[in-house]
Homo-oligomer: A and B are copies of this chain.
Amino acid sequence: MQTMTDLIHAPTPAEDPGIQATDRLARAGLRPTRQRVALAKLLFDGRDRHVTAEQLHGQASTADMRVSLATVYNTLHQFTEAGLLREVVVEAGRSYFDTNVSDHHHFFVEGSGHLLDIPGHALEVSGLPEAPAGTRVARVDVIIRLSAGG
């Protein structure tokens, strides 16, 4: 149970974003290693993010967090398995990881390679066919491909 003392002394996210990250890992059953905490802090900053492994590795380097590329890959996959991230495939040869794991779809800007969440729940798919025998629907992805030029 949460006590008044907890409320007073518990650092707020603004004071120590590491708390959120560590907590998130704990709930997902992942050991809070230095690398995982660092990457979680970068990823779960409140915004909805869509990153590739290379991009995240670059951001970590810039922020002076020493993490190998192999670990970035491992971590992204572990986070995905734990339900903390969602993998989005829109381009051959490149995987994006989305910090928004709620039910939603995407815009993909061809050329720039930008991926955007489609806001709201207006978009709906109707008339879904039955899954072929021996299979079940794991997920329905809608990708609206955009090209430059109004």
Contact = CB atoms under 8 A, between A and B. Distances in A.
Contact of A127 (B89, B90, B123, B147): B123
Contacts of A123: 125-129
Nearest to A94: B92
Contacts of A142: 125, 140-142
Q: Copy number of this protein in the oligomer?
A: 2
Interface in A127-143: 127-129, 131-143
A101 to B, nearest CB: 15
Contacts of A143: 140-141, 143
Q: A119, A126, A129, A143: which has the most chain B beta carbons within 10 Å?
A: A129
A136 B120 contact: no
